[in-house]
Amino acid sequence: MTAVQRLRSAAVLSPPLLWTVVFMFVPYSILLVYSFWKTQYPIFVPAFQLGNYMELVRDPQYLRVLLRTLKIAGLVSFFALVLAYPYAYFLVFKVKRPSVRLTLYMAVVAPLWVSYLLRAYTWKTILGTQGVLNSFLVSTGILSEPSSIFLYNQAAMVLTLTYVFIPFMVMPIYAALEKIPPSLKEASADLGENRLATFLKVTLPLSMTGIVAGFTMTFCLAFGDFIAPFLVGGPDGVMIANVIASQFGAALNWPLGSALAVVMLVIVLGIISASDRFERLGAGRLT
C-alpha cells in the first residue's frame, strides 16, 4: 500500500473511529469507573470497591426487575416474530406486483418516521378508560362501564412494544426471504416435497439469519426501553431502564445506577455475541 493509499484510508476511517471513541468508548469507560465509586450523599467518592454490584445481589428487588424486563422483552420478540414472519413471507412469495409489495412493505416501515413517543402514546389513548377499545366494548354492551384492566399492566406493555418494534423484525426477515432463489423451492417440489416440507427444509433454514437478526434487534430494543413502562406499564411494569433512570435522577445514586447500566450492557453484549455465533453456525451448516 502506497503512502497516498494509506492517507486515503486514514481519512476515510478516522471520522467513524473518532465518533466511536468519543461517543461510545469514552462514555462506557466513565460508566464503568463510576460503578466502583461510593455514594456519600450528596457527592460520589472515588473508590475501587464492589459494593454497588453486591447491592444488586443482596437486594432481591433488582433481580425481580431484571427478570421482569427479560420476560417482557422475550414476549415482545416472540409476538413480533409470530406476526412479522407470515407478513414478510406473504410479501415475498405471494405478492407478485412490485408496486403493491413496496406499498405493503412501506406500511410497516413508515411508522419509524413518526416519533416513538407519539406511537407509544397512541396505545395509551386506545387502551385507556375513555379510549377506542373501551368505547367499543361499552357501545356493544359487552361492558356496562369503561374498564381500567386494559392499561397500566404488563400486557399493555407487551402490546405497545410489539407494535413499536415490529418493523425491526419485519425488515431482516424480509431481506432474508427475498434472497432465497426461487429455483430452490422449485427443485424441492420437483423432488416430490409438499409445501410444508419445502418450507421446513428450504425456506425456514435459509431465512434463519433474518429471524435471528430480527429477534436480537427487537429483544435488545425492548430490553432497554423506558418510555412504554412510564406510559402504559404502571407499578407492575417497571423495567430495568426505569430503575437506572431513577438512580441517576431522583435517587441521586450514580454509582449504583452505573453498576446497573454495566450489568445491562453486559447482558445486551452477551445476547448479541450469542446471536452472532448462532448465525455463523447456521451459515456454516447451510454451506
pLDDT of res. 283: 60
pLDDT of res. 132: 83
**Confidence band for 33, pLDDT divided at 50, 70 and 90:** very high
Q: Is the pLDDT of residue 6 over 80?
A: no
By CB neighbour count within 10 A (0-12 exposed, 13-18 middle, 19+ buried), where does 16 fall?
Answer: exposed
pLDDT tens digit string along 198-211? 898 889 999 999 99
Return the bridge partners of 38, or none.
45
Average pLDDT score over residue span 99-115: 91
Average pLDDT value over all residues in the chain:
88
pLDDT of res. 131: 81
> Could you give phi then psi for residue 265, rounded to 5 degrees?
-65, -40
pLDDT tens digit string along 140-175? 888 888 887 888 889 999 999 999 999 999 999 999
Q: Is the pLDDT of residue 242 over 90?
A: yes
The predicted model scores a pTM of 0.89
CA 22 vs. chain centroid, Å, equals 25
Contacts of 36 (CB under 8 A, 6+ apart): 47, 48, 49, 50, 52, 255
In order of 177, 186, 194, 198, the CA distances from 190 in angstroms are 20, 6, 10, 11
Contact between residue 261 and residue 244 where contact means Cβ atoms under 8 Å apart: yes
Q: Is the pLDDT of residue 80 over 90?
A: yes
pLDDT of res. 243: 94
Average pLDDT score over residue span 28-41: 89
Q: Is the pLDDT of residue 1 over 70?
A: no
Give the chain's domains with CATH numbers.
46-286 (1.10.3720.10)
Share of the chain above pLDDT 70, in %: 97
Q: Is the pLDDT of residue 287 over 60?
A: no
Average pLDDT score over residue span 129-141: 84
Q: Which three cell numbers stand for residue 90?
A: 406473504
By CB neighbour count within 10 A (0-12 exposed, 13-18 middle, 19+ buried), where does 70 fall?
Answer: middle
Q: Is the pLDDT of residue 101 over 60?
A: yes
